[in-house]
């Protein structure tokens, strides 16, 4: 926000306002002697109602008697009334509306019945949210993933996993492709056990694999060769940049090094997975005529998923472009409110982490909260301007779909238990999706061409 200054004036006061960072307004108000007299009359009425005068009910004593007996009380109340009345008149004069009237700083710099008073106010106002113009955005189009036979085979493997039978192994150590029953415990600097955030169960069944895409190398080294009952400890390590899937895919991203943490692993069991054979009978259990029909159905499903993933990728790109294209400042109280709402989660993250690392992680949290607030305010403003509304029927449909996914062991939105909060979260998700699709439809879609040239794509063909 710039340091724009404005002045306003009437017979009771003059106002000079200036804009400070984070949507903060500074208003320097000069109250005239005439304006102070109005505040004095208000102060006398307040004191009259508060004090007891023999022979009179509260608030009914003559004004002259109140002035004579309670001058010090009136003088103190006078300044408070001058500050209160000047503030309300300043709002009416300037048209500036505070974001929160409970968070207003008022300082009486000087006060004189003869020359007037000078009072400085500081308060937050609503952010000035720009209106998104989709035609100003250039969105790079990514080609959809071409589903291969390998993709179909991998999906078939997942289907087989759903009908797995387990054979316990007791006569050897763990090796590649075993499924291990492991108790995982995070340890503090002094070896004490600490709670792992967002993990209510320390016991997990995991497949051990030397494939870096399936298991981090540091975990593999600890778990490979263990025997039942054996316990090992080790420090977490960051994946190598050469193993970064985002790098391989060309996705725009940054590398962040998470803090090292110590873990203890105790092996309680080794299991071998016995998977069903892919036969026509297996295919029929899944609603297909035979194995070839099952593969065709999988190909269609994966192709649909690839298109949806492409849409999601373009939505994420558009989200980033919107925030970069339309920067604006957020009131500090909005950020603090979000921090307070997530305080318990933040405390869990910071357990037994050095102060320097805590400061770095907290700065990232504040940056993310500010980014998310910017985005939400931008799309809300756009939705209002475009008349985009999410119907109750659509929310009901999405909730029903979520219930089916949850019953199948899939949970796409991680909805809260409270029904009202769940509906609100679904409504927000649908609105964001609708706005992003609207922006993409009307933005400039560009696709890479030969010799690093770009060509504009027709919007009707750009949407897969």
Per-residue model confidence (pLDDT) at position 209: 83
CA-to-CA distance for 266 and 226, rounded, in angstroms? 9
**Helix, strand, coil % over all residues of the chain, rounded to 5:** 45, 20, 35
Per-residue model confidence (pLDDT) at position 452: 41
| 351 neighbors 194 (Cβ within 8 angstroms) | yes
Mean per-residue pLDDT over the chain, rounded: 86
**45: phi then psi, degrees, rounded to nearest 5:** -65, -40
pLDDT for 464 beyond 50 = no
Per-residue model confidence (pLDDT) at position 51: 85
Per-residue model confidence (pLDDT) at position 103: 87
pLDDT for 2 beyond 50 = no
pLDDT for 403 beyond 90 = no
Burial class (CB in 10 A: 0-12, 13-18, 19+), 231: exposed
Q: Span 134-142+291-462: which CATH code?
A: 1.10.3120
pLDDT in tens, 70-114: 888 988 999 999 999 999 999 999 999 999 888 899 999 999 999
pLDDT for 197 beyond 60 = no
> How many Cα atoms are found within 13 Å in the side-chain-facing hemisphere of 288?
20
Mean pLDDT of 185-201: 74
pLDDT in tens, 151-177: 999 999 999 988 899 999 999 999 998
Q: How far is CA 401 from CA 306, 407, 408, in A?
A: 20, 10, 11
pLDDT for 441 beyond 50 = yes
Least confident piece of the model among 213-217, 243-247, 337-341 = 243-247
Q: Span 5-124: which CATH code?
A: 3.30.70.1050
Per-residue model confidence (pLDDT) at position 462: 37
Mean pLDDT of 435-457: 67
Mean pLDDT of 199-205: 71
Q: Which two tokens stand for residue 415?
A: 């909805």
Sketch the domain layout of the chain as residue ranges.
Answer: 5-124, 134-142+291-462, 165-274
pLDDT in tens, 34-49: 999 999 999 988 888 8
Structure confidence at residue 263 as a pLDDT band (50, 70, 90): very high
Helices (H), 51-124: 63-69, 71-94
Q: How far is CA 39 from CA 29, 47, 335, in A?
A: 15, 12, 36
CA-to-CA distance for 130 and 381, rounded, in angstroms? 8
For residue 376, what is the enclosing H or E element?
Answer: helix 355-386
Per-residue model confidence (pLDDT) at position 36: 93
Per-residue model confidence (pLDDT) at position 404: 77
Q: What is the 3-state secondary structure (H, E, C) of 301-323?
A: HHHHHHHHHHHHHHHHHHHHHHH
pLDDT in tens, 287-302: 999 999 999 999 999 9
Per-residue model confidence (pLDDT) at position 214: 82
- Which of 234-238, 258-262, 319-323 tops mean pLDDT? 319-323
**454: phi then psi, degrees, rounded to nearest 5:** -125, 145
Q: How far is CA 353 from CA 62, 345, 365, in A?
A: 67, 14, 15
The domain at 165-274 falls in which architecture? Roll (3.10)
Per-residue model confidence (pLDDT) at position 349: 76
| pLDDT over 90, % of the chain | 57
pLDDT in tens, 310-356: 999 999 999 999 999 999 999 999 999 999 988 888 887 777 778 88
Per-residue model confidence (pLDDT) at position 418: 84
Mean pLDDT of 272-285: 94
CA-to-CA distance for 79 and 72, rounded, in angstroms? 11
CA-to-CA distance for 287 and 292, rounded, in angstroms? 12
Structure confidence at residue 227 as a pLDDT band (50, 70, 90): very high
Per-residue model confidence (pLDDT) at position 247: 57
pTM: 0.70
């Amino acid at each position: 926000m710039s340091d724009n200054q404005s002045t306003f004036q009437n017979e009771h006061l003059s106002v000079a306002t200036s804009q400070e960072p984070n949507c903060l307004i500074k208003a320097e108000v000069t109250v005239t002697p005439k304006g102070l007299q109005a505040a004095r009359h208000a102060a006398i009425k307040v004191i009259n109602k508060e004090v007891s005068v023999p022979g009179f009910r509260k608030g009914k004593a003559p004004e002259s008697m109140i002035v004579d007996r309670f001058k010090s009380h009136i003088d103190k109340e006078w300044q408070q009334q001058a500050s209160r009345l000047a503030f309300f008149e300043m709002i009416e004069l300037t048209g500036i509306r505070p974001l929160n009237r409970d968070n207003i700083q008022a300082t009486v710099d000087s006060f004189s019945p003869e020359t007037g008073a000078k009072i400085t106010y500081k308060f937050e106002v609503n952010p000035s949210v720009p209106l998104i113009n989709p035609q100003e955005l250039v969105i790079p189009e990514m080609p959809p993933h071409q589903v291969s036979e390998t993709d179909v085979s991998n999906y078939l493997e997942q289907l087989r996993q759903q009908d797995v039978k387990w054979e316990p192994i007791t006569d050897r150590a763990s090796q590649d492709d075993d499924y291990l029953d492991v108790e995982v415990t995070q340890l503090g600097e002094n070896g004490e056990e600490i709670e792992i955030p967002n993990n209510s169960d320390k016991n997990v069944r995991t497949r051990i694999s030397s494939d870096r895409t399936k298991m981090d190398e540091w975990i593999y080294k600890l778990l490979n060769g263990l025997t039942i009952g054996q316990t090992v400890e080790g420090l977490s390590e960051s994946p190598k940049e050469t193993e970064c899937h985002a790098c391989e895919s060309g996705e725009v991203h940054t590398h962040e090094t998470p803090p090292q943490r110590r873990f203890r692993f105790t092996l309680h069991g080794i299991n071998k997975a016995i998977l069903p054979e892919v036969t026509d009978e297996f295919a029929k259990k899944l609603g297909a005529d035979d194995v070839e029909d099952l593969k065709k159905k999988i190909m269609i499903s994966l192709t649909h998923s690839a298109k949806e993933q492409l849409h999601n990728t373009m939505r994420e790109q558009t989200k980033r472009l919107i925030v970069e294209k339309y920067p604006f400042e957020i009131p500090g109280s909005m950020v603090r409110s979000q921090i307070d709402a997530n305080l318990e989660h933040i405390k869990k993250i910071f357990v037994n982490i050095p102060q320097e690392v805590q400061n770095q992680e907290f700065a990232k949290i504040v940056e993310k909260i500010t980014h998310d607030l910017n985005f939400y305010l931008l799309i809300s403003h756009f939705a209002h301007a475009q008349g985009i509304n999410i119907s109750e029927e659509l929310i009901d449909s999405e909730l029903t779909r979520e219930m089916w996914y949850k019953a199948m062991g899939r949970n796409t939105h991680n909805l809260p238990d409270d029904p009202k909060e769940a509906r609100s979260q679904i409504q927000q998700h649908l609105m964001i999706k609708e706005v992003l699709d609207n922006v993409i439809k009307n933005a400039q879609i560009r696709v890479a061409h030969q010799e690093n040239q770009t060509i504009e794509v027709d919007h009707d063909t750009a949407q897969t």
